[in-house]
Amino acid sequence: MLRFLLGRLGLLIPTFIGVTLVAFSFIRLLPGDPLDLLAGERGISDERKAELMAQMGFDKPLWQQYIDYVLGVFQGDLGTSFASKKPVLDEFMTLFPATAELALCAIILAVCIGIPAGIFAAVKRGSVADQAIMGTALVGYSMPIFWWGLLLIILFSGILQWTPVSGRISLMYFFPSVTGFMLIDSLLSGEKGAFASAVSHLVLPSIVLATIPLAVIARQTRSAMLEVLGEDYVRTARAKGLPPRSVIGLHALRNALIPVITTIGLQVGVLLAGAILTETIFSWPGIGKWLVDSISRRDYFVVQGGLLMIAGIIMLVNLIVDVLYGLINPRIRHN
């Protein structure tokens, strides 16, 4: 197991180098620069631009800028945002809990509904229920997120007034951030009604963000289950008279879950990288929108630092999935 783990960790080194290179070069390959965008229609003189580029270190050769960046990363310094003038790492740490909280709620929702739905569809293969579940999953998968979010807001917040329109908590609550996770902070604040407010603000964005992963997980679970249900050991289990619940729950599901876990892991990675559309619709202060805004402003340090952090998180999640996979399926570990 240790060798397996070390092998996986070893793979992270070239991945890290690749990510720093891609993050560094990606934003510089885009046409336009932050100063042209800052000056807008007014424009900026070439001399003034050169002066400011030198002030920010952008006049150095690219290789030197890259080395400065990597050395900074090793010292925990991702640079300073050109727009906000704040350290990139501070901004990331401020915004990431909002993204993580939403992503976790969404993935829990997707797993709790997606896996049972997939199992049910597989067991009732070809039935109306199967068709309905798979049809719904296809619709969910194809749904334009912006439209879907707005539709839910108009229905549940506008017409029915069951949920707030957007934000993380009602504006009447104002307490210092301890963990950055609003559910936890609202409990810690001790303010009456704060937790309920935080939960109510999470409902719609979680549903919207969970829609696609839910569909993916349901479809993946169904196909994995169908494959496993046709295996000899399942037939044997049935033949020896085990009740259907045990056959499905103990024998089939455990094996079917292996590819599903990979799918869930990938989805967690995607969601933690920030959900730009969901964050925009629900005014959710997360890293997705922050990063996209920074790209449009050519805020070099935010983009390269933010991408690196996100890539790091995805690598970490994938590592955890790999390890879990190895634990569940010894063949992987030994190969």
Partner 1 sequence: MNFQKTLKATLLGASLAVIAATGASAKTLVYCSEGSPEGFDTALYTAGTTFDASSKPLYNRLVEFKRGTTEVLPGLAESWEVSEDGLEYTFNLRKGVKFHTTDFFTPTRDFNADDVVFSFDRQLKKDHAWHEYTPGTAWEYFNGMSMPDLIKEIVKVDDYTVKFVLNRPEAPMIANLAMDFASVLSAEYAAQLEAAGTKEQLNQQPVGTGPFKFVGYQKDAVIRYGAHADYWNGKEAIDNLIFAITPDAAVRLQKLKAGECHVMPYPAPADIADIKADSNLTLLEQQGLNVGYLAYNTKVAPFDKKEVRKALNHAINKQAILDAVFQGSGQAAKNPIPPTMWSYNDAIEDDDYNPELAKEMLAAAGVSDLSMKVWAMPVQRPYNPNARRMAEVIQADFAEVGVNVEIVSYEWGEYLSRSKDVDRDGAVLLGWTGDNGDPDNFLAVLLGCDGVGGSNRAQWCNDDFQALIEKAKAVTDKAERTKLYEEAQVVFKEEAPWATIAHSVVFMPMSSKVTGYVMDPLGGHWFDGVDIAE
Report the interface residues with partner 1, using CB under 8 A.
30-45, 48, 52, 55-56, 80, 82-86, 91, 94-95, 98, 150, 153-154, 157-158, 160-168, 170-174, 177, 193, 196-197, 200-201, 203, 280-283, 285-286, 289-290, 293, 296, 298
The least distance separating partner 1 from the CB of residue 70, rounded to whole angstroms, comes to: 19
Q: With respect to partner 1, which residue has the nearer C-beta, 108 or 196?
A: 196
Give me 75's structure tokens: 């010292």
| CA gap 207, 191 in Å, rounded | 26
Least gap, CB of 193 to partner 1 (angstroms): 6
- In 3-state terms, what secondary structure has residue 45? coil
Burial 262-285 (b: 16+ CB within 10 A, else e): bbbbbbbbbbbbbbbbbbbbbebe
Collapsed DSSP state (helix, strand, coil) of residue 335: coil
Which of 130, 293 has the CB closer to partner 1? Answer: 293
Residue nearer to partner 1 on the CB measure, 146 or 325: 146
| Nearest CB to partner 1, comparing residues 3 and 192 | 192
**Smallest distance, Å, CB 64 to partner 1?**
17
SS3 80: strand
**Whose Cβ is closer to partner 1: residue 200's or residue 329's?**
200
Residue among 250, 263, 244, 286 nearest 102 (CA): 286
Minimal distance, residue 44 CB to partner 1, in Å = 7
C-alpha span between 192 and 140 (Å, rounded): 36
Residue 99 or 267: the one with the smaller Cβ distance to partner 1 is 99
- Distance in angstroms (rounded) separating the CA atoms of residues 291 and 279: 11
In the complex, the smallest distance separating the C-beta of residue 239 from partner 1, rounded to whole angstroms, is 44
Task: Give the distance, in angstroms, between the CA of residue 24 and the centroid of all CA atoms in the same chain.
Answer: 22
Cα–Cα distance, 128 to 43 (Å, whole number): 63
At which residue do the structure tokens 């909280």 appear? 101
User: Least distance in Å: CB of 213 to partner 1?
Assistant: 22
